[in-house]
Structure formats: structure tokens, C-alpha cells
Amino acid sequence: MSKRYQQLVEESLNANDALSSGLRSLPNEISSFASTQAAWRFYKNDSVTVQKLQEPLLQAAHDSVVTHCKDYGLIIHDWSRLNYRKHQSKRDKYAISHKTDVGYDLQSSLLISDKTGLPLAPVAQRLVTVNGSYATYKNNELDGNVSSHLDEVTTCIDYLQQQGFAKPLVHIIDREADSIGHIRQWQENGHLWLTRAKDHTTVTFEQQTLTCPQIADRLSFKKTREVSYHGKAQWQWVAETNIVMTRKACVRKNQKRTSVAGKPVAARLVVSRVMSDTGEILAQWLLITNVQGVEASEIALWYYWRWKIESFFKLLKSGGHHLESWQQETGLAIAKRLLVVSMACVTVWEIAAADSEEARLLRTFLIKLSGRQMKWGVEFTNPALLAGLWAFLSMIEVMESYSPEELVILRKTASSFFG
């Protein structure tokens, strides 16, 4: 079983396109049809569960926390809609938001480095279908009770905190997580969290109840780093203060919304602004966190790195594997293949994160093999590494499967068609 898994991961180390998003077999002596049949049997095997397929990813995450993280493991939680509107064979898809957005909802939790922001490994994933969800952090294969995003993320966070990582985990979520009821749960369970506050969120500051933007206007900012904003170099300014969150939580019971009081939550408000040379505020992020002992500028950088999970979704979709073109007929089959492909992504990220001279030479070699053009000043991209790695593995398979004499004959035959 492990040998077949390894082969599937290697066969997933390629950048597909929408018209050929199926399994791509390596150029060895095994036929493409035999390789496809073997993959079908693997994914169809009842003993191959999403929890089992998550185990290598979780082990990779444990190793990466030790190797690539300084003080914390940063985990970004986010959601992405998988659109299969035109896939008639998928009977368990559903209308996620409206008639044209039909498919599955994917929740992913991505570990990144607190030193570089580079992605390291997806530590948890959950695919929601019309029948329920398939989650890597639950024992049952199909959970018929589909919870809200934040309820489910809370379950996921509780699970990850029990996995014994070598460094503390900080859970980073976008503005959807500005929910005092869930924040109280995380606080009471001892979790570290970072989220973006909504503009209308009220907190207690210097014995006054104010919105976060009102507080931001009263703070003194420090010039921290130069950033790129809409393609232009601008400066980031950061300020912080202590706040207390005391508002009631909005809870839905029996189809009715009720307000529930809770314990005050002490937190930090970190305000990050991108400003022009004339002092114009070009962008502003209102961040709240319970992480202490870390510079406000670093907290702002952590949240900026949240976009790395969007790069992961892009690598799964249009930037690499074209997930939304996969022809598997059930959410379970999609979820299983997704976990194998995720390990292929981890392999590429490990090559990208390695800082040795050998790794740098390998990256340069893979970019040449990929045939991709890089922007000025960009050493590599993950999709290009993926394409180059596939070309390299194909070369190795060819050299192991054919003798030099056979390759010479094939080259001469091919050359004859060029005239």
C-alpha cells in the first residue's frame, strides 16, 4: 500500500491543464492504462481513508516545525469553493452559494514558517458534500452533521492542539473569525489566535467603548518596512495597544438569534497601515490577537502571510493541478486524491524552503527543465518547480527504462521526421 501511495505522489508531481487533469503516468515500462487502473483500485479501497492519507502530511508538518520554524508554527485556516457545475456525474455536489456555484466546499489548514512565511504542509482538510463532510481530523469517514465554518474550525483547532507539535501553534483566520463567542472558546482552551477585526467591532479601550478604527486614529505609528502596494513601493506603519473584548456573543438557538454574555477577553489590537509619502492611508488592517511577547510589526507580517493559503488553492486549481477539472465522481474520491496531491505540494515546498547550496542548484535546474519564464528578480515559483520536477522524474524514468542504444535509435527516428 505504501509503495502504491509513493507512486501516486510521484505521478502527481506535475502541472496539468484543464483538458488533461487526470493521472499522468511516468514514462516507464508500465502502461498508462495499467497505472490508471491501479490508482482507481487504490482510491476505491475502503481501508484507504482520508484519515490514513493525512498521516504522511501530518508527519511532514511535525518535521517542518522543527526544521523551518523559529518560535511558533503558524497555521492559516481558510475555505475555497470547488466548482463542478458542469460535472453531471457528481451526484453529491450542492449549491454552495447560488445556482452557478455548485460543487463542494473545501476547508484547509496550512502550516507556514514563522521565519519566512513559506508554506510547509496542510495539517488538516475537510470537504463538504450534500451528504455531509469528509474531514481528516475526525474518526468517521462521513460526518452527516455539517457545522458552520467557525464551529468546524474550532473542532479542527482542538484536534491540532492535541498533536504535540514541537512549537506552539498560532491559528490565523480572516475577518470571518471576528466572532466573540468562538474567540472566548479558543481563549478558554488556551489556544493562540490572530484574526482581522471588522470595522464595526467594538471593544473597551481606556475605559471607553469604541470601534477599532476609532482606536486606530488615536495611536502613534512607527515606520517598519517597505512593502509593494499595487506594484509600487510604499511604507508600512504599525501601532498597537491593549484592548478588552466584552460584547455579547450572538448565538442561534431553535432558528432564533439570542445574545449570550461571557467573560472579558484581554487582547492586543495591532494596526497595520500602508501609507504614501504624503501621509495618505492606502490600506489598513485591524488585527486582534492574544499572542504576547512578539513585536507588533511581526504580528502584522504574520497576517500578511495569510495570502499563502490562497497560493496553495491556486496551486491546486489553475496554477498546477486543475482540481476543478478532476473527473472523480464522488466527494470522497476527490478528497482522497486531493490528499495525495497535497503531498506532492509538500515535496515542492520542501525544495523551495531548503537553504543549502545543493537545493539552490536544484531549483535553478528545475526551472530550466520547466521551460517557464520568471519575472525579473524572481528566482522560482512553485508551479514552475512542480513542472520542472515532473520533467526531471520523467528523465530519470527514461534512463532507467531504456538502454543508451535504444535512446540513440529513438533519437535518430525522431530526427528523421524533422527533414
Within 197-295, strands assigned E span 202-205, 208-211, 222-229, 232-245, 249-253, 256-260, 265-275, 281-289
**d(Cα 267, Cα 246) in Å, to the nearest integer?**
11
Give the helix ranges, DSSP H, for 12-76. Answer: 32-44, 50-68
* Residue 255: pLDDT over 70: no
Nearest by Cα to 323 from 41, 28, 80: 80
Residue 389, judged by CB atoms within 10 A of its CB (0-12, 13-18, 19+), counts as buried
Taking residues 200-211, what's their average pLDDT? 92
* Residue 27: pLDDT over 70: no
**d(Cα 254, Cα 389) in Å, to the nearest integer?**
53
What are φ and ψ of residue 27, in 5° steps? -80, 65
Q: Using N-to-C axis directions, what is the helix angle for 50-68 and 331-353, rounded to 10°?
A: 20
Taking residues 304-323, what's their average pLDDT? 88
* Residue 318: pLDDT over 70: yes
Task: List own/partner pairs for 43-47 with CB under 8 A and 24 or more apart.
Answer: 43/328, 43/333, 43/336, 43/337, 44/333, 45/1, 47/1
**d(Cα 94, Cα 404) in Å, to the nearest integer?**
53
**d(Cα 296, Cα 270) in Å, to the nearest integer?**
6
Instruction: Find out whether 240 and 268 touch, Cβ atoms under 8 Å.
Output: yes
Q: How confident is the model at residue 250 (pLDDT cuts 50, 70, 90)?
A: confident
Inter-CA distances, 313 with 21, 77, 82, 253, 279, Å = 16, 12, 10, 34, 35
Q: Give residue 21's pLDDT.
A: 47
Nearest by Cα to 26 from 384, 396, 372: 396
Dihedral sign for Cα atoms in the order 170, 176, 178, 179: negative
Q: Give residue 147's pLDDT.
A: 80
Domain layout of the chain by residue ranges: 49-349
Q: Give residue 42's pLDDT.
A: 64
Taking residues 306-314, what's their average pLDDT? 92
% of the chain residues with pLDDT over 90: 53
Q: How confident is the model at residue 61 (pLDDT cuts 50, 70, 90)?
A: very high
Q: Give residue 31's pLDDT.
A: 44
* Residue 128: pLDDT over 50: yes
Task: Specify the residue for cell string 501530518.
Answer: 58
Q: Give residue 419's pLDDT.
A: 60
pTM over 0.85: yes
pLDDT digits (tens, 9 = 90+) for 336-382: 999 988 988 899 899 998 889 999 999 999 999 988 888 888 888 88
pLDDT digits (tens, 9 = 90+) for 209-218: 999 999 999 9
**d(Cα 216, Cα 241) in Å, to the nearest integer?**
9
CATH entry 3.20.20.70 includes domain 49-349: no
Supply the DSSP symbol for 127: E
**d(Cα 281, Cα 42) in Å, to the nearest integer?**
54
* Residue 394: pLDDT over 90: no
* Residue 35: pLDDT over 70: no
Nearest by Cα to 203 from 240, 246, 266, 250: 246
* Residue 47: pLDDT over 90: no
Cell of 103: 460543487
**d(Cα 410, Cα 398) in Å, to the nearest integer?**
12
